[in-house]
Structure 1
Amino acid sequence: MAETLCATHPLEAWKHALAGLTWAIDGLVVKPEELVSAVDLRIDATGPGAAAVEHALGSALPVEPNTWTSTPEGQIVWLGPDEWLVTSTVSRPHELEDSLIKVVSAHDGAAVDVSAQRTSIRLSGGLARELLSFGCSIDLRPAAFPKGSSAQTGIGQTGVLILALGGDDFRLFARPSFAGYLADWLLDTAEEFRTTK
C-alpha cells in the first residue's frame, strides 16, 4: 500500500504563538496564510501576449513598478518590467502553470510554478505598520505605501515581498526556509506592544 505525502505548512510550529499575539496585543493580528499556487510569469508587457494573459486571468498585468492587482482567483504582483508573480487560491499549482504556459508560449513568454518558493503571513491592525517599521527600511505610511502597493524588501534579516492590502492590512511573502526566522522576528518585536492584562 502506497503512502500519501501531505504538505506541512512551513509555519505550523509557529501558528499557536502567532495566534497568541492577537489576544495579547490590541490592534495586532498576525497569522500564517494557507498555501497558494504561484507562478512566475515572463512576457512582454507591450506585446499581444500581455493581452492574452489579461483575458486568461480576468485582470490586466500591473505595469507600474511596485504594484499588484486582484484577479478572480488571486493576485498579480509586479516583480520587474517583464516579470510578475501570479497567485491563485483556487487552481492547483500545475493547473495554474499549465494554463499560463498555453497562453504565453505563443508569445515568447514563460510561466514556471514557484509555489514552493514562498509562504505568506498576514499582518493587520492598527499596530501593523509600526511593527513592520522596526525592521523595514521602506516608508510604509499610507500616503507612501497605499493599497495596491508592493515592494521587494527586507524585514529584519529576511527578504520579503510585501503587499499593501488596504488600511492596516499587509501580506508578507517569504521563502519557506526563512519563514520561521520571520515569525520569530515578528514575535520578538511585538513584545514592544505587549501590556499586562
Structure 2
Amino acid sequence: MLETLQRNASAGASSPTPTVEGVLAGWREGLTIINLRCDADDPAVQEAAASVLGFRLPMKACTYEGDVVRAHWAGPDDWFIIGPSGQAEVLLQRLRSALASRHHSVTDVSSGYTVLHMSGASARAILAQACPIDLHPRAFSTGACVGSQFFAASVWLWQTDEAPVYELLVRRSFMGYVWLMVERASSECGLVIRRVL
C-alpha cells in the first residue's frame, strides 16, 4: 500500500517527550524573499546593491552576508535576498531604482518559498541524515550556505549560529513533505515545535 507524504505543514505534532538533546523547529512564515540576478563584478553594481542592503553582495561561493536582511550566494550572478515580512515591495523598488542603469533582474519569490528554522543539540545530526553534504563545523559553519537535498526535496541551507542554528529555504509545495521528514528523523531525540519570528 502506498503511503501519502502530503501533510499540513503547520499542524504537525511534537514527538513524544522531547529531550534536551532534541530538535527545535518551526516555520518562519511571511518572510520577504527576493531573487536578484546581476553582474556583481561590476563595482557600480556592488555600490548600488550596498546602498540598498547596507552591505556588498557576497562574491565567495556558498556564503551569505547581512543580518536582518541577508544576501545568500546562489551562483556567480545569483542571490536570494531574505528579509523581514512586509518588506518585499520596498526592497524591490529600491533595488530596481538603484540598479536601473545596469543589466539586472529582481523578482519577488516570497509566495513560492518559506523558511524552516532548526536548532537544538541534535539539529546537525538530523540534517546529516537528510543532506548529502559535510556539516561538520570545520566544513560548514556560521556564514555558510549551500544548495542541497533534504531527503527528496531541493532546499537551500545556511547556518546562522554555532549553537548550531540552521535555516532551510523550502519551496512551499514541499512544506508538508519536509515537515513529515523532520518528524520522522527526530523521532528518537524528540521534536519541539516553536513559532519563529
1:1-197 mapped onto 2 (5 Å cutoff): 11-14=9-12, 17=13, 20-21=14-15, 24-27=18-21, 28-47=23-42, 48-71=44-67, 73-89=68-84, 91-167=86-162, 168-194=164-190
Pair 1:179–1:52, CA change in 2 (3 A): same
CA RMSD after TM alignment: 1.9
Q: What's the offset of the Cα at 1:95?
A: 2.0
Distance, in Å, in 2 between the alignment partners of 1:169 and 1:51 is 31
Q: What's the offset of the Cα at 1:90?
A: 5.2
- Between the two proteins, what is the percent identity of the paired residues? 25
Pair 1:29–1:194, CA change in 2 (3 A): closer
Structure ranking higher in strand proportion: 2
8 A contact 1:21–1:30 mirrored in 2: no
Pair 1:101–1:21, CA change in 2 (3 A): farther
Q: What's the offset of the Cα at 1:105?
A: 2.2
Q: What's the offset of the Cα at 1:193?
A: 2.0
Q: What are the superposed Cα offsets for residues 108-135 of structure 1, whole Å, 9 maximum, x if unpaired?
A: 1121111112101110011100011111
Q: TM-score, normalised by structure 1?
A: 0.86
Distance, in Å, in 1 between the alignment partners of 2:102 and 2:179 is 40
Matched residues, number: 181
Specify every segment of 5 or more residues in structure 1 that has no aligned partner in the other structure, as ranges.
1-9
Amino acid of the structure 2 residue aligned with 1:34: E
Q: What's the offset of the Cα at 1:86?
A: 0.6
Pair 1:128–1:22, CA change in 2 (3 A): farther
Q: What's the offset of the Cα at 1:192?
A: 2.8
Specify every segment of 5 or more residues in structure 2 that has no aligned partner in the other structure, as ranges.
1-7, 192-197
Q: Which one has more relative contact order, counting CA pairs under 8 Å at least 6 apart? A: 2
8 A contact 1:63–1:78 mirrored in 2: yes
